[in-house]
């Protein structure tokens, strides 16, 4: 529900905040991180709830339900933390910073484009759609090759063998 609806836009709030960093108070920038992190947490809890209902529906053991649900919440929160909060905010922050330095460099050369103080914000906002898919792909690759194998190995040692066989077929 969260990743495929307009609610997903809340995950980009901190990138918007980073874009506006040069022209808005710091507290407003920081508040956008609260919104983005809240979105990530809500998505993780939603995925956990769906996993809970799914595993309960397939009559898996109580232990399996708890372990796989916790694993799904952790996986989703890790993914959201990296793909929606940490990496994009860093990238946009650096784009805005570099654009600001470039505008200042031009100003030192007596080249002053109109409304130059807005350029870092405009460039930051325009960069958001360009960075989303590459970052999502990178985070997918990272989670698929680090967390998932670790979680599968760890969870497998706590899940009854009959449930493991059912999980493979589901």
Report residue 25: phi and psi, to 5°. -60, 145
What is the H or E stretch that residue 145 is in? Answer: helix 119-145
Does a structural domain hold residue 1? no
Q: Which domain holds residue 59?
A: 6-169
Overall number of domains in the chain: 1
Q: Is 160 helix (H, G, I), strand (E, B) or coil?
A: coil
DSSP secondary structure of 34-68 = HHHHHHHHHHHHHHHHHHHHHHHHTT--HHHHHHH
Say how far apart CA 143 and CA 78 lie, in whole Å: 8
Global pTM value: 0.89
Report percent pLDDT > 90 for the chain: 78
Residue 32, in any domain of the structure: yes
Tens digits of per-residue pLDDT, 2-46? 767 788 889 999 999 999 999 999 999 999 999 999 999 999 999
Residues whose CB is less than 8 angstroms from the CB of residue 158 and which lie 6 or more positions away in sequence, other chains included: 63, 67
Residues 113 and 106: their CA atoms lie apart, in Å, by 9
98 within some domain? yes
Q: Which residue has the higher pLDDT, 170 or 70?
A: 70
For residue 29, the model assigns a pLDDT of 97
């Amino acid at each position: 529900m969260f990743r495929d609806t307009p609610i997903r836009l809340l995950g980009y709030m901190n990138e918007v905040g980073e874009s506006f960093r040069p022209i808005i108070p710091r507290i407003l920038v920081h508040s956008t991180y609260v919104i983005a992190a809240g979105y990530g947490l809500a998505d993780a809890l939603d995925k956990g709830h769906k996993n809970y209902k799914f595993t309960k529906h397939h009559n898996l053991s109580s232990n399996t339900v708890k372990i796989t649900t916790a694993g799904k919440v952790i996986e989703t929160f890790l993914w959201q933390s990296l793909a929606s909060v940490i990496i994009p905010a860093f990238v946009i922050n650096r784009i805005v910073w570099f654009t600001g330095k470039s505008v200042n460099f031009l100003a030192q050369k007596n080249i002053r484009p109109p409304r130059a103080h807005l350029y870092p914000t405009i460039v930051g906002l325009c960069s958001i759609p360009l960075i989303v898919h590459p970052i999502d792909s990178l985070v997918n690759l990272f989670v698929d090759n680090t967390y998932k194998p670790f979680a599968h190995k760890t969870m497998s040692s706590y899940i009854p063998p009959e449930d493991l066989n059912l999980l493979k077929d589901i």
